[in-house]
Structures are given as structure tokens and as C-alpha cells.
Amino acid sequence: MIKIFILVIAYSFSVNLWANETEKKTETAKNLEVAPETISPDLITLAQQELDFDEQQLLLKQKRLKTHIEFCAPCHGKTGISVVPIYPNLAGQHQEYLLKQLLAFKYRRRKDAVMQGMVSRLNEDDMLELAKYYANISIGPSQPNPTGDVNENTN
């Protein structure tokens, strides 16, 4: 009796494993856009490692960006809106313009003693990520629109 019981358990366990494996195969096949039966277990492991690596890289990148944002925040505000009038707002500014300014500070085409020091810790990828971050912050309807008409909220 106990033998049958163990057999049943072992059987359902292996079915489960098999189902898992099939599921993994199908998923990997979908990602790679090939038929599931052409996927070898090695390839699955490899694909999984690749995905894990990509995920780790993304997390590292996000962490790095967050550190930089916090570093810029005392002057430009965490959301790119400066609380001190001598520091420019960055939120909602064009990404191209922000990147151009950061590069200009970095390569001394634009001179400012404070910002010079700030960009020394940034590489070009960091600058692009920061420019994207501030450009994507929406600053609401109080901007003049591109036709030159000034919104009523602006004075």
C-alpha cells in the first residue's frame, strides 16, 4: 500500500516537473520566436541567465539614476523643480537641451564652477538618463504654448 502511495507521489512530482519544463520551453520559444521542440535545456538555462542579467543591469541602472537624482536634488529639487531661485528648474525641459547642457559643462564649453564639479562624476550614459528623467516630468498647464500664446496662469 505504502509503495503505491510513494509511486503516485513520485509520478505526480515528475509530471509536475515535466509540465514546468514544458512551460519554460514554451516561454523561451516565444521569447526567441522559434518552435518549442527546437529548444534544448541548455538554451533554456542560457536564456534564463541572460534574462536575469538584463534584469540585474536594469536594477543597477535604476539605482545609479536614483543616487544621481538625490545628489542633484538639493539644488534642482527631486522632481526638477528648484526651491531656490538661483537654481534652474529642470522638470519638463527638453531632453536634448538638458543633455547638451550637461555635456557642455562636462567638456567646459559652458562654464559654471558649481555644475563643473557636479558633472565630473557623470558619464555620458548617466547624463542621458538624467536628461530623460527630468524631461519626462510633467509640469502642468502653466507653460506658454508653442504658438506663443501665453497661458492665463502665467504672468
Q: Which residues of 93-125 are buried (b: 16+ CB within 10 A; e: fewer)?
A: beeeebbebbbebbeeeeeeeebeebbeebeee
φ/ψ (deg, to 5) at 16: -60, -50
The answer to the question of residue 112 lying near ligand HEC (CB under 6 A) is yes
Q: Residues 29, 76, 77, 106: which binds ligand HEC (CB under 6 A)?
A: 76
- Figure out which of the listed residues 71, 79, 92, 103 binds ligand HEC, where binding follows CB under 6 A: 71
Q: Which is nearer to ligand HEC, 29 or 90 (CB)?
A: 90
Q: What angle do CA 104, 109, 110 make, to 5 degrees?
A: 70
CB of 64 to ligand HEC, least distance (A): 11
Contact status: 44 vs ligand HEC (CB under 6 A)? no
DSSP letter, residue 36: G
Among 14-22, 55-63, 72-80, 147-155, which window interacts with ligand HEC (CB under 6 A)?
72-80
